[in-house]
Each structure stands twice: as structure tokens, then as C-alpha cells.
Structure 1
Amino acid sequence: MLRIYRLPITVTEDCIDVLGHTNNKEYLRWMEEAAISHSDALGWNMERYLKLGAAFAATVHKIHYLRPTHVGDELIMNTWVETLEKTISRRAFYLTRGGKVCMNGTTEWTFINLKTGRAEEIPPEVAEAFPIVPKGDPLLRENGIRWLEIP
């Protein structure tokens, strides 16, 4: 089971803001792309969620910017599921360039019924597909992830 997912990213010209570095919205876009790709890799693509009539929706984002990124930078967005509770899952993100952390963050995802828009309990078949990598898991350090807590 894929516990930590890695999404390679190349910073392109359209990612850059007027300050000459990657715009904040790009980090959020990359986080979402990594989460969706990880879910797909674990067998839960959007088609399957739609068939189920429920899916995860982002409700809280926290991002800690540590180093700027620029055009041409080759990045790796690491992501994993940190918690999975009754209706909410917390996913962590860790962006690196050449082994140095540029950003870390989290997103809380609420599992919602697509017809009502209300939170509902994460079904066992969904929960079982997502391996949990809790804070302090040795796998993080083994993969060079030195987590910085976000207040």
C-alpha cells in the first residue's frame, strides 16, 4: 500500500507572480493535485466517488512557506494521510527541491454526501484504502521528511 505519495512538479512560467517566485495559489493547486493523484493510485478516482455518491471536500488548508521556488525548479510534493476519523481526514504535504523543504502544509478533508452537501461517515471501504502515517511515524524520517508543526 502506497503510504507516502510523491508527485514530481516542474515550476513553469505561468506559476510565477509579480514578485518573481511561485504564486501562493500554485502551492494549493499542487496540494490538491497530489491528494487526487494519491487517491487515484489507491483505487479511489473521482468516477468511483461519484458512483458512491460521496467524496472528500477540502474544508481547512494550512501552508507554511519556507523557501521560494522559481521557474525551472524541479520539485517533489510528498503527501500522506495523517488521520482518518469519523467524517474528517487530515492529509499532510511536504514540498522539496533538491532535498530541501520549500513548504509544508495540511488539508482537512470532510467526507460529504454529494446530494446534500452534508458530512457523512467515511465508509469502511474508503477508510481501508488509505494507509495512515501518523506524526512521528519512522517512515517520515526514513523518507527525509522533517516535519515542522503548523500552528
Structure 2
Amino acid sequence: MFRHQVAIEPADIDHMGHVNNSVYLKWVQEAVIDYWRTVAPPDAVARHLWVALKHEISYRRPTFLQDNVVAEVIADKVEGARAYFTTVVRRGQDVLSEVKSCWCCLDAVTQRPARLAREITSRFLPPEV
């Protein structure tokens, strides 16, 4: 699991006094990309880009400006050029949201889908049972 500290900005707060739902998607994108940049070798980071294809988000509790929030990212699997992640946004022990997302790996030059080498995916996938 990878932990990404979330920054809450005043502009993230909506008319109801808590973080707008759309901001959670920004956090997930930041967290997954930060995860990639942390676990992948620098040459792989330079050669590949990620684009989100799908997010399924379940909101559990509201988030407020003063909250200390962390996004926990887990890579679930890789199939071809696609990678699947689970991101849990937490305030302490409270789960604020759970997100299942699907991403496509792209070649940074051609911007076409690209499969990652097994030695790269093994850095962030759980060991096979």
C-alpha cells in the first residue's frame, strides 16, 4: 500500500461547507500518479504516461478544510496496457471514500497504449498466490 498526503485547498470547499465530490477524483489521480513515480524506475516514468479510463467512487463521509487526509493506493492488477487500482481516502481511521479505477498506460512519445514489462509491474503489484 502507498500513502499519499492530500492537500485540501479553500477552493475545494463547496456551497455545503465540505469538499466537493469532484475534488476526490483529482486526489485519486494525484495519488495514483505519485504512486507510479515512487515505485517505477526513472526510465520507465520518463517513457510512460497514465490516463484514467474509469473511476467508481463511493462517498462515505464528508471532508472539511481542516481535515488531515491521506489517500491509500493499492495496485490490484495489470492486464495488457491497463492497470486497476483501489484508492481509499481516510481521515485517521475514518474512511471518507473508496475508489476503484482503471488506467491505461501510454507510450510517452506516441501516446498509444503500452504494455509494461513484468519487472516493472512486479514493483507495485501484490505477489501472486
**Aligned residue in 2 for 1:58:** 52
Q: Distance in 1 between matches of 2:80 and 2:58?
A: 27
SS in 1 for 2:32: helix
Whole-angstrom distance in 1 between the partners of 2:21 and 2:110: 31
Aligned runs of 1:7-18 on 2, under 5 Å?
7-18=4-15
TM (normalized to structure 2)? Answer: 0.84
- When residues 75 and 101 of structure 1 are mapped into structure 2, their CA distance, relative to the original with a 3 A threshold, is same
- Structure with the bigger percentage of strand: 2
Give the gaps of 5 or more residues in structure 1: 138-151
Aligned position for 2:124: 130
**Aligned letter for 2:18?**
H
Question: Against the structure 1 CA distance between its residues 49 and 10, is the aligned structure 2 distance closer, same or farther, given a 3 Å change threshold?
Answer: closer
Residue 89 of structure 1 corresponds to 83
TM-aligned CA deviation for residue 114 of structure 1: 3.2
Following TM superposition, by how much is the alpha carbon of 1:56 offset from its aligned partner in structure 2, in angstroms? 2.3
Q: How many residues align?
A: 129
Distance 1:133 1:103 in 2: 26
Whether contact under 8 Å (1:21, 1:70) holds in the other structure is yes
Sequence identity (%): 23
Query: Structure 1 counterpart of 2:104, which letter?
Result: T
Aligned residue in 2 for 1:43: 40
How far the C-alpha of 1:123 sits from its partner, in A, is 2.2
Report the AA paired with residue 32 of structure 1.
Q
Match of 1:98 in 2: 92
Q: Secondary structure of the equivalent of 2:99?
A: strand
Q: 2:2 aligns with which of 5, 28, 32?
A: 5
Distance 1:29 1:71 in 2: 16
Q: CA deviation at 1:55?
A: 2.5
Task: Provide TM-score, normalisation by structure 1.
Answer: 0.73
Deviations 1:19-40 (A, max 9, x none): 2110122111111111122112
Distance in 2, Cα, partners of 1:29 & 1:72: 18
Q: Could you say if the C-alpha distance between residues 114 and 37 of structure 1 is closer, same or farther in structure 2, counting changes exceeding 3 Å?
A: closer
Unmatched segments (≥5 aa) in structure 2: none
- Cα deviation digits, residues 11-69 of structure 1 (max 9, x gap): 33221012211012211111111112211221345x7433x2x3222111111111111
